[in-house]
Structure 1
Amino acid sequence: MNYFELFSLSPEFDLDTALLAQRYRELQRAVHPDKFANASEQDKRIAVQRTAQVNDGFNTLKHPISRAEHMLSLKGIDLSHESTTVKDTLFLMQQMEWRESLEDIKHSDDPDEIIDELHHSFAEHQTQLITKMSELIGSDDPKVLQDAADVIRKMKFMAKLQDELARAEDALF
């Protein structure tokens, strides 16, 4: 299913999330199962299915990583069950530095400084990845789309790092 079509939105990575939320509420009102309380069992099942599609579509489009994956899947590149890793040497070196810094939090005299530095570094890198994704994802060139898939892999890794940082931060308090 093309969630951009479901929400009557242009298939673009840079999405107006306020408009997405508005369309979500409109669709929810239109297909909510409560509207079909007195309908046939088949109509009730269809309403439940449509509500699930609307919820899935909203959750997919509101998050940049899942939105980008959906856009690639519409172009024939499915990343949902892959185990391909990032091969960018510079990114892998940076990844090792970030992991070391995450480990250093536990043993630091000033963990807040490391946490602040990591938050800043992660945000800066995430912004670069999102900018790169915006440039690549609109293409129909298979090579460019593979580059976009690599950016998605990096974005997923950054999301995991941010989760690890949040857990490390929580452990301090």
Structure 2
Amino acid sequence: MASISDSHFDLFQLPARYTLDADTLEHAYRTVQTQVHPDRFAAAGDAQKRIAMQWATRANEAYRTLRDPLKRAIYLLSIRGVDVAMESNTAMEPAFLMQQMEWREGVEDAAAAKNVDALDALLTELRDEERVRFTKLAALLDNGADQAAAEAVRQLMFIERVAAEIGTQIERLEH
């Protein structure tokens, strides 16, 4: 078994790549959980129980990270030594900045008009854009273009924030 401080990929004996097969990840997670689940150590001493709990917690955290495409990208970049710099690096391509403004204005206008259909349409547009960008992100990461991938991650984080905002607006208007 891997060391508790090994990477999430090492823990599940997976290649440190962005592109992962979901079924393979699920199987690897279940295999590790079977080995470290605290119930297997119910009759063990307190120290062994604590260690089992640490491993189970570690496996859960690693699985949640690798299962989520954006978290997986951020994690992969971090183990490659690339800081996504979400808080401090807001520089983005001008075309994306213009698109951001259009999306924000669209959300504001639709919310002010209480137009749930317009918000749904914007959400669909964002989800479509997100799918395209995740495909590009996979290619960037799997080809080692880490700096470009870091910018793509920042853009995807923005898209997710706007999508969440739209979801909140829709929920508010429907209740």
Aligned ranges for residues 1-173 of structure 1 at < 5 Å? 1-79=6-84, 82-108=87-113, 111-140=115-144, 144-173=145-174
CA distance in 2, matches of 1:56, 1:69: 14
* Residue of structure 1 equivalent to 2:3: none
More moved, 123-132 vs 150-159: 123-132
Q: Which runs of 5+ in 1 are unaligned?
A: none
Query: In the TM superposition, what whole-angstrom CA distance separates every residue of 1:66-104 from its partner, at most 9, and x where no partner exists?
Result: 101111112111337752114211111110111111111
After TM superposition, give the deviation of residue 105 of structure 1 in Å: 1.7
Structure 2: distance between partners of 1:82 and 1:75: 19
**TM-score, with normalisation over the residues of structure 2?**
0.88
CA RMSD of the aligned region, Å? 1.7
Distance 2:86 2:154 in 1: 12
Distance 2:37 2:85 in 1: 28
Q: Distance in 2 between matches of 1:166 and 1:97?
A: 17
User: Offset at 1:107?
Assistant: 2.8
Contact residue 111 and residue 119 of structure 2 kept, 8 A: no
Q: Distance in 2 between matches of 1:87 and 1:155?
A: 12
Aligned residues: 169
Report percent identity of matched pairs. 35
Q: Distance in 2 between matches of 1:131 and 1:172?
A: 33
